[in-house]
Structure 1
Amino acid sequence: MIRAVWEYIKANKKFLLLSFMMMSSVIVPIPHGQEMFYLTMLYIFVFSVQNKGLSSGKEMPFVLMLVFILLSSFVNMIFDIRLFLFIFIILGVSPIFSSYTNFKFKERLLKMLFFLIPVISVVNIYCHRAGINYFQSQFVNEFDFSGIMSHPMWLGALAGISNVALFYLIMKNKEKSWLIKGGLIFLLLCSLYVSVIAGSRSALAVSLVSMAFVLYLLSDGLGSIMKVAIIVSVIASLTLPTFMEGATRMKMKMENQDADLMEGGSRSHLWSMRVKEIEESPLFGIGFATAYVFGHKVTGRIESGSGWLSVISQTGILTFVAVVMIMWNCVPGLKLVKRDKRLALFYGELCYFTIHSFAEGYLYTSGYYPCLLFWMLVSYLNELPVYFERSLAEKTQSLPPA
């Protein structure tokens, strides 16, 4: 397996570099990480434009979303730099510039990201043991941990993505030797522990739900599901004491939920603010990257508390309808998982992003990797039914590593 991984990396070194640059915006030790992220955005955009082909017929909901977002911006006369970054992202990854080449580009980049993220996640185990914690805030205390990430929120989200990817690899390699399976299980346990020490209850819970969804997609029936459930129960009973030792931050959040300083107030308070903003301007929202903070309308970097509520509160119901259309277009590809089990990884991660976006607002955070990753994944799955047959034929002939 090590040789297969090495050969895969050599064959996809460009995508490894792009993935690393894309993640660098939230990894503190990497110099000029934000600039590297912007360069990645630029490369993706230029590549998409240069390789544009015939329309796939999937671009209209994305066009409508951009039109309604711009309409909201003109109504509110708010034009923040984050708006233009978001438009740049959508133009680069969406079916607006559609072609089979762009589709395969997104597939390879997504796959590399989902395999690189677990490595970054597990590195934070060492950071925790070595006392490396780059998180700095006026609210910081001894239990706040972000490892090499700039904020525990980014670490929690990263660990959740990692959990789903590693579980997929375990299920995909269940016929391999116990050494390989044991190594992957160990990495998954490390990644789950990172979720715990990051203190993100939502990321951990949603990743577990998404892992169950991957199990459902890859299972051969109730018998195989029960077998995995028994193994999981045994491992959970053996490792629970260790996980409880690292759950101090989670316990503090539960004990002090209504005044969680790290999240700028309880999530229920943030949600209530988003609802008030929706009531104020339901059709067009109050402006992209805009929210009320302590009674004042603020545009810029904000903690929204929910990605889905932010879509409505910032850019209105019209935009939300377009986004729902985009998400609905991901559903037809689900039936294709039976023919290509490798698609379970993408749908497992989609499940994670979709549910976790109720609790975290990174759908519009255009300066960071989760926003780019989410919209690239959604765009890929929108076009999946169009290019699936050709892609499957190529995979069957070449049989690349999963």
Structure 2
Amino acid sequence: MKIPFNGYATLAIPNAPKLCKRLAMMMALTLVSSASGFIMFHNIVQLIYYTACIVCFVYLLGGKDTHIEPKFLVFYALIGINVLILDIDPIFNSRIRAAFFILVTFTCSPFVVSERARLFRLYVFKYSIIGFALLSIGSFFCYFLGINYMNQHVAGQLYNEAYINFQGVGGTFSGLTVQSMMLGPLSAMAAMLFLNEFQLHPKKIYIVLFIMASLSAFFAASRGALLALVVPVIYSILLERNKKIGLLVVIAMLAILPFAEFVLEGVINKNGGTEINIGSRQLKWDCRIDEFKSSPLLGVGFSSIDPNGADDFNRLTGQIEPGSSHLSVLSMLGGLGFFVYLIIVLTAFIRVRNSNNPNAGFLMCILLIYLVHLTFEGYIFGAGGMLCYVFWLVIGLCFDSRYKLDNLEV
């Protein structure tokens, strides 16, 4: 079976053993399936996801010359110390969540350093980004066909009118994905794929695909995701001085301009006007800062918040919405954990920025998408979520970007 987009230069990577490809495909399929709204059995997908993580964990341990990344070892150690010595409310299940986080990120983060691990991460990313591109382009058509799978996954609101008559109503459209907050960043990544491919091979089809993926991000009406799309585009034009990308963006803007009111209607309605409104996040950000002040060294605890604070959480499951991943690292792990996290992110940024890999620019753009989006969403420690996995996968790929992969023995 021919894989869509498989001939793209952006996705050109060295050949790998069949077992590596199959395990990477299995891992990627669970990620894409968890993001897909038309998959009705997400509990089964979640079980397969964790099973895949365990299988891939064993596979990566068998690589030749396997060793560990010291920075990530320190990060794991701090998380372990955090959940063992802090008096964290049991409702948050911090120790169990920390164990799952370490298990999941073992397969995608830069923790395992080996040729096998590097190649595996490349293939998981390749297969995943293909799936995201298909979901994004498909969601573009869904917007005009009246198809919205977000309606199927909002508890207690299966036939809510807002999810049926979604056009122009911000935050109610997810297309083929499970949630509008999923469609936004997913479409931003897909748009950057087509943007980078246009840079390598300036064909009209990539202009069309870039516009479609970008519009899917607009239809999702996620302000954080839209900003996450704009920042890497500006980076590509200004810092990389890329005339081809600048041309594509100008063409895209001219093509969308006559329909600007229609495209932006959902974002404006969700925002409550044309001015930027972050009121929905401000309380959470203030709470994260207060939590850091209350425990500046070690934080309040992994995957937890102050149960007596102003921020709300699910008091049955302990599920939280931190409002910002960067601030959640600061509040949960304290200044010590945030310092190590900052070193990891800066190392990823510097390595991919200085890489001679021809696709390093694309990887940098995906990293920028995440760094911006993580400012507004708190999924960085959500080991069961696709966005969490792919973020740490991107960090792993950035760490790997200084290596040259060819003629591997894995």
TM-score of the alignment, normalized to the shorter chain, above 0.5: yes
What residue number does 1:164 align with? 192
Looking at structure 2, the residues matched to 270 and 168 of structure 1 have their Cα atoms a distance apart, in angstroms, of: 35
Matched, 1:184 2:206: yes
Looking at structure 1, the residues matched to 274 and 302 of structure 2 have their Cα atoms a distance apart, in angstroms, of: 28
What residue number does 1:89 align with? 104
- Please tell me the residue identity of whatever aligns with 2:254: S
Compared CA separation, residues 251 and 279, structure 1 to 2 (3 A): same
What residue number does 1:327 align with? 345
Query: Could you report, residue by residue, the CA deviation over 1:29-87 in whole angstroms, capped at 9, with x for unpaired residues?
Result: 2233322322332233122122252436xx11111111111222121345433322111
What residue number does 1:355 align with? 372
What residue number does 1:38 align with? 50
Query: Could you report, residue by residue, the CA deviation over 1:211-247 in whole angstroms, capped at 9, with x for unpaired residues?
Result: 2334467x5xx5x52x643553243123123343132
What residue number does 2:28 align with? 19
Looking at structure 1, the residues matched to 281 and 104 of structure 2 have their Cα atoms a distance apart, in angstroms, of: 28
Compared CA separation, residues 295 and 375, structure 1 to 2 (3 A): closer
Q: Aligned to 2:87, which of 52, 76, 85?
A: 76
8 Å Cα contact 1:214-1:345 kept in structure 2: no
Within-5 A mapping of 1:288-307: 288-292=302-306, 294=310, 300-307=318-325
- Please tell me the residue identity of whatever aligns with 2:365: G
Looking at structure 2, the residues matched to 134 and 115 of structure 1 have their Cα atoms a distance apart, in angstroms, of: 20
Looking at structure 1, the residues matched to 12 and 209 of structure 2 have their Cα atoms a distance apart, in angstroms, of: 19
8 Å Cα contact 2:352-2:399 kept in structure 1: no
Name whichever structure is richer in helix by fraction.
Answer: 1
Within-5 A mapping of 1:37-186: 37-51=49-63, 53-55=65-67, 59-74=69-84, 75-77=86-88, 78=90, 79-80=93-94, 81-136=96-151, 137=154, 141=162, 142=166, 143=169, 144-174=172-202, 181-186=203-208
- Please tell me the residue identity of whatever aligns with 1:241: P
- Please tell me the residue identity of whatever aligns with 2:147: I
- Please tell me the residue identity of whatever aligns with 2:109: S
Looking at structure 1, the residues matched to 347 and 12 of structure 2 have their Cα atoms a distance apart, in angstroms, of: 30
What residue number does 1:309 align with? 327
Looking at structure 2, the residues matched to 295 and 116 of structure 1 have their Cα atoms a distance apart, in angstroms, of: 35
8 Å Cα contact 1:22-1:37 kept in structure 2: yes
Compared CA separation, residues 210 and 300, structure 1 to 2 (3 A): farther
Question: 1:8 deviation in Å?
Answer: 7.7
What residue number does 1:400 align with? none
Looking at structure 1, the residues matched to 71 and 128 of structure 2 have their Cα atoms a distance apart, in angstroms, of: 26
Query: Could you report, residue by residue, the CA deviation over 1:86-121 in whole angstroms, capped at 9, with x for unpaired residues?
Result: 111232233443211111111222123223311111
Q: Aligned to 2:289, which of 255, 275, 286?
A: 275
Q: Give RMSD over aligned pairs.
A: 3.2
Q: Aligned to 2:256, which of 239, 243, 268?
A: 239
List runs of 5+ in structure 2 lacking aligned partners: none
Compared CA separation, residues 109 and 300, structure 1 to 2 (3 A): same
- Please tell me the residue identity of whatever aligns with 2:27: L
Looking at structure 2, the residues matched to 63 and 43 of structure 1 have their Cα atoms a distance apart, in angstroms, of: 21
Question: 1:321 deviation in Å?
Answer: 1.1
8 Å Cα contact 1:46-1:92 kept in structure 2: no
More divergent stretch after superposition (132-141 vs 61-70)? 132-141
Give the secondary-structure state (helix, strand or coil) at the position aligned to 1:204.
Answer: helix
TM, length-normalised to structure 2: 0.81
8 Å Cα contact 2:66-2:114 kept in structure 1: yes
Q: Aligned to 2:228, which of 206, 212, 215?
A: 206
- Please tell me the residue identity of whatever aligns with 1:303: E
Q: Aligned to 1:342, which of 354, 359, 383?
A: 359
Looking at structure 2, the residues matched to 188 and 61 of structure 1 have their Cα atoms a distance apart, in angstroms, of: 36
Question: 1:200 deviation in Å?
Answer: 0.9
Looking at structure 2, the residues matched to 114 and 186 of structure 1 have their Cα atoms a distance apart, in angstroms, of: 18
8 Å Cα contact 2:32-2:131 kept in structure 1: no
Compared CA separation, residues 347 and 394, structure 1 to 2 (3 A): farther
8 Å Cα contact 1:124-1:148 kept in structure 2: yes
Looking at structure 1, the residues matched to 12 and 70 of structure 2 have their Cα atoms a distance apart, in angstroms, of: 35
Question: 1:304 deviation in Å?
Answer: 1.4
- Please tell me the residue identity of whatever aligns with 2:119: K
- Please tell me the residue identity of whatever aligns with 1:71: I
Matched, 1:382 2:399: yes
Looking at structure 2, the residues matched to 49 and 3 of structure 1 have their Cα atoms a distance apart, in angstroms, of: 28
Looking at structure 2, the residues matched to 277 and 257 of structure 1 have their Cα atoms a distance apart, in angstroms, of: 32
Looking at structure 1, the residues matched to 250 and 111 of structure 2 have their Cα atoms a distance apart, in angstroms, of: 46
